[in-house]
Structure 1
Amino acid sequence: MNEYLKEIADLCGIDKKLTSPIARHTFATTITLLNGVPIESVSKMLGHTNIWTTQHYAKILDIKVGADMALLKKKLT
């Protein structure tokens, strides 16, 4: 798997070493959570049996918190 990621990085001009954990983190944070997928669904997609494992990969970004608060404000007004 890491060899495929290395090849993708080379093709895209990415200097950082890509690994499976980095790919899982990117998937969990950027692709799913920032697009509104609930963390419980992300956990299932990653094959985790414990939500705490998913939280290790899925870091909540400030932009996500801001977007969630804007949705809440819209619902309350």
Structure 2
Amino acid sequence: MKKHLTFHLARHTFATTITLMNGVPIESISKMLGHTKLSTTMIYEKVTQPKVAMDMAILQQKMNENE
């Protein structure tokens, strides 16, 4: 691996890959990171195609349960 690892990179990876991509709400991530403003956490939010697909699948499942 040729990437220089930093505290910032680790924090960003935690916020995006580990939590957000596993369905943790942005509000919870904000608390985990110790942010007082949600807008600060939004910097870490990185909406990717897999995340959008996952969210749509969850929505579809909820809609099917309500039928």
Q: Distance in 1 between matches of 2:47 and 2:41?
A: 11
Q: Percent identity?
A: 61
Q: Distance in 1 between matches of 2:34 and 2:11?
A: 11
C-alpha root-mean-square deviation of aligned residues, in Å? 1.0
Q: Determine if the alignment matches structure 1 residue 76 to structure 2 residue 63.
A: yes
Larger radius of gyration: 1
The count of residues paired between Structure 1 and Structure 2 equals 64
**Amino acid aligned to 2:5:** L
Q: Distance in 1 between matches of 2:48 and 2:62?
A: 22
Higher helix residue share: 1
Query: Deviating runs (4+, > 2 A) in structure 1?
Result: none
3-state DSSP class of the match of 1:59?
coil
Deviation digits for residues 10-57 of structure 1 (CA, Å, limit 9, x no counterpart): xxxx21011111111100011001111111010011010111111112
Q: Distance in 2 between matches of 1:59 and 1:19?
A: 19
Listed as ranges, the gaps of 5+ residues in structure 2 are: none
Aligned to 2:31: 44
Where do 1:1-77 residues align within 5 Å?
Answer: 14-77=1-64
